[in-house]
């Protein structure tokens, strides 16, 4: 078992608006994805802690930018889910503004993990995110989550198709499951490389 460099990660703060962000210094990696895609479970698996990020069956629970400190100057950021969520249009618009503002102005952001459900990858909202990241010149890495819901063969088929998606140009793509542990070490290597 290799040492997990994220094991001491702790909650730093939740920012309901851009004026509440922590100081824009150091380096941070953000997790973005549709509502209920499992970002919280991925972060928990990455850091090796069950309950660092609260998971919920209700889409749209994350309403703030949640910052987690790996160690001083290095952070993980859980962005609000986009796409379907049982919230008002105004609230959804506010989240969109928050996310777009964060991506547009954050100098310490070194890369974004685009999380998708392996059973429904590359929806229009996912493509929109990838386009936004390409236009902004961000490093991106696509995480096809919930790989345990498919057989290995099915998962590899989705991975092959995903690599041909226009929005995936230039992005690395991997399978992931916090349930079976598939892809956890791969993702740790990617995030560690970006942060260091």
Rounded to two decimals, what is the model's pTM? 0.91
What are the domain boundaries of the chain? 10-195
For 71-97, the pLDDT digits (tens) are 999 999 999 887 655 666 677 677 778
Pairing of strands 27-33, 10-15: unpaired
User: Into which CATH architecture does domain 10-195 fall?
Assistant: 3-Layer(aba) Sandwich (3.40)
E-strand spans in 41-167? 65-71, 74-78, 109-117, 140-145
In the chain, the percentage of residues whose pLDDT exceeds 70 is 90
In the chain, the percentage of residues whose pLDDT exceeds 90 is 64
pLDDT score for 1: 44
Mean pLDDT of 166-178: 88
Pairing of strands 10-15, 65-71: antiparallel
Residue 37: name the closest of 20, 61, 10, 2 by CA.
61
What does the block give as tokens for 46? 């990455």
Strand order in the sheet with 140-145: 10-15, 65-71, 74-78, 27-33, 109-117, 140-145, 172-175
Contact assessment for residue 159 and residue 144, using Cβ atoms and an 8 Å cutoff: yes
For 124-133, the pLDDT digits (tens) are 889 888 888 8
């Amino acid at each position: 078992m290799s040492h997990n460099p994220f094991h001491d990660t702790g909650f730093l703060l939740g920012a309901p608006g851009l004026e509440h962000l922590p100081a824009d210094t150091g380096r941070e990696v953000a997790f973005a994805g549709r509502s209920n895609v499992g970002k919280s479970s991925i972060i928990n698996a990455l850091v090796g802690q069950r309950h660092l990020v609260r998971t919920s069956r209700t889409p749209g629970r994350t309403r703030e930018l949640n910052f987690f400190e790996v160690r001083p100057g290095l952070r993980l950021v859980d962005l609000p889910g986009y796409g379907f969520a049982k919230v008002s249009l105004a609230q959804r618009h506010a989240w969109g503004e928050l996310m777009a503002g964060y991506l547009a102005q954050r100098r310490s952001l070194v890369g974004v993990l685009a999380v998708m459900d392996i059973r429904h990858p590359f929806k229009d909202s996912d493509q929109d995110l990838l386009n936004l990241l390409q236009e902004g010149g961000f490093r991106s890495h696509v995480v096809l989550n919930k790989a345990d819901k498919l057989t290995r063969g099915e998962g590899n088929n989705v991975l092959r198709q995903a690599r041909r998606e226009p929005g995936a140009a230039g992005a690395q793509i991997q399978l992931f499951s916090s349930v079976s542990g598939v892809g956890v070490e791969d993702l740790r290597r990617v995030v560690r490389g970006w942060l260091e």
